[in-house]
Amino acid sequence: MPWLMAAHIGSLALWCAGLFLLPGLFAAHAGVEDPAAFKRLRTMSRFTYIAIASPGAVLTIVSGTALVAVSDLLGDWLVLKLTLVTAMTGFHVYCGRLLRLLGMHPGLRAPRWLRLLTLVPALLVPLVLWTVLDKPALLARAV
Ligand code: HEM
């Protein structure tokens, strides 16, 4: 089903974009003194989480589950992929927690540490892509 695959890829692009943007936005919290600038930063961070990353996550998971339902592509690659997707979901939830806490305590975490969080999606996203794109090899190794 090409339209389902298009929905899956489109929504995962949204989800990944959100997860890559959030650590940088979080890191900016500590240095902003001006209340108006802080309000703008909060609006951008909340928009990225609520309007980009979260709908992207929900649509990716719904469309991915629908793809599993309409295909007979079960196998080790899917178990591996779902494990990595669970880790992405855990990171997503952690970003939601940071978003709330940084609104109350902007200096809660060192900016350098928050920027380093970018490494989490930078590692997970290519690994998820590898499980899908190298699926034939993964299936061959499983039998
Ligand atoms: C619960 C979550 C997910 C499920 C159940 C799921 C399941 C699937 C299934 C069954 C396919 C079809 C494979 C095929 O027909 O060859 C697919 C395609 C794909 N998925 Fe997911 N997926 C999920 C999340 C993700 C995430 C988070 C990413 C990327 C970060 C991703 C990337 C892709 C890509 C790039 C394709 C297209 C692969 C191709 O054209 O060969 N998926 N997914």
CA gap 73, 139 in Å, rounded: 10
Predicted confidence at residue 140, as pLDDT, reads: 66
Task: For ligand 1, pick from 80, 81, 83, 131 the residue to mutate: most ligand atoms within 8 Å of CB.
Answer: 81
Q: How far is the CA of 94 from the centre of ligand 1 (A)?
A: 23
Domain ranges across the chain: 2-142
Return per-residue pLDDT of the chain as tens, 143 residues.
899 999 999 999 999 999 999 999 999 999 898 999 999 999 999 999 999 999 999 999 999 999 999 987 778 889 999 999 999 999 999 999 999 999 999 988 999 999 999 999 999 999 999 999 987 777 666 55
Task: For ligand 1, pick from 80, 132, 134, 138 the residue to mutate: most ligand atoms within 8 Å of CB.
Answer: 132
- Beta strand spans in the chain (E): none
DSSP for residue 117: T
What pTM was estimated for this model as a whole?
A: 0.92
